Structure 1
Amino acid sequence: MKVVKFGGSSVADANQLRKVTEIIKADPERKAIVVSAPGKRHSKDTKTTDLLIALGESVQINVKNQVIYDQVIERFASIIRELELDHSILSTIQERIDAACALIKTDLKRGMDSLKSCGEDGTALMLSAYLNKRELESSYVNPKDAGIFVSDQPGGALVLDESFDQLYKLREREGILVIPGFFGYTLEGDLVTFSRGGSDITGSIVAAGMKVDLYENFTDVDSVYCVNPMIVDQPKELKTLTYREMRELSYAGFSVFHDEALIPAFKEKIPVCIKNTNNPSGDGTMIVAELPEREGHVAGIASDSGFLNLYVSKYLMNREVGFGRKLLQILEEEGISFEHAPSGIDDMSVIIRDHQLPQEKEECVKERIMKELDVDTISIERDMGMIMIVGEGMNEAIGIAGKATTAFRDAEVNIDMINQGSSEVSMMFGIKAEDLNRAVQSLYRAFF
């Protein structure tokens, strides 16, 4: 038995949904299907979820954008027309969108989550109907009926343990089950979404709950590459990765898979296969628990921009009990989450995603730290990039760091920060964002 997830590009239009149907039809073991919202049909297109968010923001300020509303409805209408599905499906989707828009006016967070979920929900309704039209017994299963229970954290829900026993019961249902990704329900019955890209999370949760043999994640690439193909031409394909390697790579910029999505599958030791909807017969990339056989210790190089470095120094900081806790507590009280916190004897850096600390909040945070912690120096450096070298067994290999720093030198890129910490599978470097591509290309030459 398999759980299969199809991403936004795989369900972007009617033609893609036809391909999805052929993939499902080709393997009777594909029991549960998790779908995203319709994605981009071409490079200049807009994802349905982005349109829904823009629509919600306009409703929030009481100027509902009719142009965007019509665009959203037409995205679904065009698919329904081309697949010759019953018009009542469009009415159901439109009613949900209208209800979510009305909810935004009384409960912004719940309304926005409800509106954002309409993309995935609409895809699931359309695909289930089309499968039945193609004589494949199928049913739409709402996440509440499936038993996907989550914490009450709008836009960042976490699955509750109660879900997994409920999800196991899906095995007993007849036919193919089509489940919208990206959202679940609190125990009180409120709809809450996962973080953006959360359909991957739904797929992994369903796979773990149903205890299937394989979780297939269909996207628009043949496999996972060892480096971003937008930076390096024709990079090496990775046929096998471990869960830990894929999670580290996803966190550090590999957009092919959500970094939180592997955890449920990992706990149940369910292998994951990433495949291409447009080339379903390809091998894809397998993500497994055990270390695969491979040449060298480095599996991949990931990079991402959009970071800042909050730097503080204070003489004899190392003698001051609780300094780090107090610093991080200030960030917590200001609603700021951090990524990394390397420290020295008299100084400490906190790496934060740019959007967590907007410029208008910067002075307030700096003033609090200066006043409450009596630091000697405080500075914030923006436009930072992070590069992560990932591979099982790196901690046992001699010369990885030396090889990496030589590659940075060859690219004439200055390293602002190195952080290996307790991770056995990754090494992180902080540099200026403008130097990212040059550094990645040099690292690729060095390791691959």
Structure 2
Amino acid sequence: MKVIKFGGSSLASATQLKKVLDIVKSDSERRFVVVSAPGKRNAEDNKVTDALIKYYKNYTNGENVTLDQEWIINRYQAMVDELGLTSNVIEKIAAAITELATLPIDGNDFLYDTFLAAGEDNNAKLIAEFFRKNGIAARYVHPKEAGIIVSSEPGNARILPSSYDKLEELRDSDEVLVIPGFFGVTAQGQICTFSRGGSDISGSIVAAGVKADLYENFTDVDGIFAAHPGVVENPHSIVELTYKEMRELAYAGFSVLHDEALLPAYRGKIPLVIKNTNNPEHPGTRISLEHSGAAVPVVGIAADDKFASINMTKYLMNREVGFGRKVLQILEELNIRWEHMPSGIDDLSIIIRERELTPIKEQEIISYLTRELGVDEVEIEHNLSIIMIVGENMKDHIGVTATATRALSDNHINLEMISQGSSEVSVMFVIKTEQEKEAVKALYNAFFSTND
């Protein structure tokens, strides 16, 4: 039994929906279909979600929203016409879109989420109708009916553990169930969306809830590449990853799958496959708890920018009990999350995202460290990037870090810091952002060129 999720690009037009239909028809085990809102049909087009955001802003600002409503409804109407569906489904969609402008504004914490969720919700209605017209016994299921009950945190909903029992009941259905992604319903009946990558999270939740044998996530690429194709020309596709490896790659910039989406499937021990709607015969990339066969030491290289480092030095720092806790205390008071903490005996660096800092917060940190903790030197370094080489099998291979540092050195790339966790799933290099692309290319050539 399989749960499949389709992203916005896979559902952007009638042409794409016909591909989706063929994919569902080709495998009777594909019983649960989680859908996103329609994405862009071309580079100049707008996503339905972006149109809903504009609609929301105009509505809450008291502007005329007729054009917003018409654009969204017409977008669905175009697909209904091309697919030859009945007028009944577009009437339901038009009513749902129009009704958004009757919802209360003042004191409605869930209004924005309700607007955004309309993209997925109405697309699911259309797709279920399309499936039925083409011989698939399909049914639209609202997240409330499915049992996707979430916490009351607008824009950052979390699934409640009790939901999984309700979701498991869906296993008994003889129909193909079409479920809108991106949102759940609170215990009080309010629409509440997940964080970014929300439809991926929905698919993962449904897969875990129904105890699926496989969760297939259909996108517009042939799985996951060993490096970013915008940096490395024609990087090879990764056949298999573990959840730990995918988590590291997603953290460091791989945007194919949002890292939070992995959690429900990981805990449910459900294998996940990234596949291409436009090339469904390609095996894609399989993500599971452990490798099924022999694996190379490095499976992928990821990079992300916009990091900063708080660097401090204090003589005999290592002898001072509680120093680390006191440093982290000021970050907590300023509501700053830290990412990494490389250290020496007399120096300590804390890597954080640039977005966590403001000029005022920087001054607060420097003042606190010098005045309260008496550090000898402190600086905040900007424009840093993190490069990660990832692979669970690194711990069984000698010389991986040496190969990486040699490649960076040969390409005149200066290392600011190196860090590796005890699990040895990844090695992190901190460099200046201006050298990020050159570093990724150098590492890819060092680990993969001889294997091509």
Scaled by the length of structure 1, the TM-score of the pair is: 0.91
Aligned position for 2:432: 432
Pair 1:23-2:31 in alignment:
no
Pair 1:213-2:236 in alignment:
no
**Deviating more after overlay: 396-405 vs 338-347:** 338-347
**Partners of 1:417 and 1:61 in 2: how far apart?**
48
Give, in angstroms, the shift of residue 438 of structure 1.
0.9
CA-to-partner distance for each residue in 1:6-29, whole Å, 9 max, x for gaps? 111111112111111111111111
CA-to-partner distance for each residue in 1:296-354, whole Å, 9 max, x for gaps? 31111111222222334444443443333343343334333232222333333222223
8 Å CA contact 1:101, 1:111 repeated in 2: no
**Partners of 2:342 and 2:185 in 1: how far apart?**
37
The unaligned stretches of length 5 or more in structure 2 are none
1:224 counterpart SS class: coil
Q: 1:295 to 1:421 in 2, by over 3 A?
A: closer
8 Å CA contact 1:241, 1:285 repeated in 2: yes
**Partners of 1:95 and 1:379 in 2: how far apart?**
57
CA-to-partner distance for each residue in 1:162-216, whole Å, 9 max, x for gaps? 1211110001123110111111123333322221112111111111110111111
**Partners of 1:242 and 1:15 in 2: how far apart?**
34
**Partners of 1:102 and 1:363 in 2: how far apart?**
47
Aligned position for 1:231: 231
**Partners of 1:369 and 1:63 in 2: how far apart?**
49
**Partners of 2:108 and 2:429 in 1: how far apart?**
39
Give, in angstroms, the shift of residue 270 of structure 1.
1.7
2:328 counterpart SS class: helix
Q: 1:148 to 1:396 in 2, by over 3 A?
A: same
8 Å CA contact 1:129, 1:138 repeated in 2: yes
Pair 1:412-2:408 in alignment:
no
CA-to-partner distance for each residue in 1:22-47, whole Å, 9 max, x for gaps? 11111111111011121222234333
8 Å CA contact 1:241, 1:292 repeated in 2: no
CA-to-partner distance for each residue in 1:117-144, whole Å, 9 max, x for gaps? 2221122111111111212111111112
Give, in angstroms, the shift of residue 431 of structure 1.
1.4
8 Å CA contact 2:242, 2:288 repeated in 1: yes
Pair 1:335-2:368 in alignment:
no
RMSD of aligned residue pairs (Cα, Å): 2.6
8 Å CA contact 1:217, 1:274 repeated in 2: yes
Asked which structure has the greater CA Rg, the reply is 2
**Deviating more after overlay: 276-285 vs 438-447:** 276-285
The unaligned stretches of length 5 or more in structure 1 are none
Q: 1:349 to 1:362 in 2, by over 3 A?
A: same
| Identity %, equivalent residues | 50
Aligned position for 1:166: 166
Letter in structure 2 aligned against 1:253: G
Aligned position for 2:190: 190
Alignment of 1:338-357 (within 5 A): 338-357=338-357
Alignment of 1:293-372 (within 5 A): 293-294=293-294, 296-358=296-358, 362-364=362-364, 366-367=366-367
**Partners of 1:329 and 1:347 in 2: how far apart?**
17
Give, in angstroms, the shift of residue 57 of structure 1.
4.5
Aligned position for 1:243: 243
CA-to-partner distance for each residue in 1:363-385, whole Å, 9 max, x for gaps? 45555555554544443333222
Give, in angstroms, the shift of residue 73 of structure 1.
3.7
Alignment of 1:98-113 (within 5 A): 105-107=105-107, 109-113=109-113
2:273 counterpart SS class: strand
Aligned position for 2:155: 155
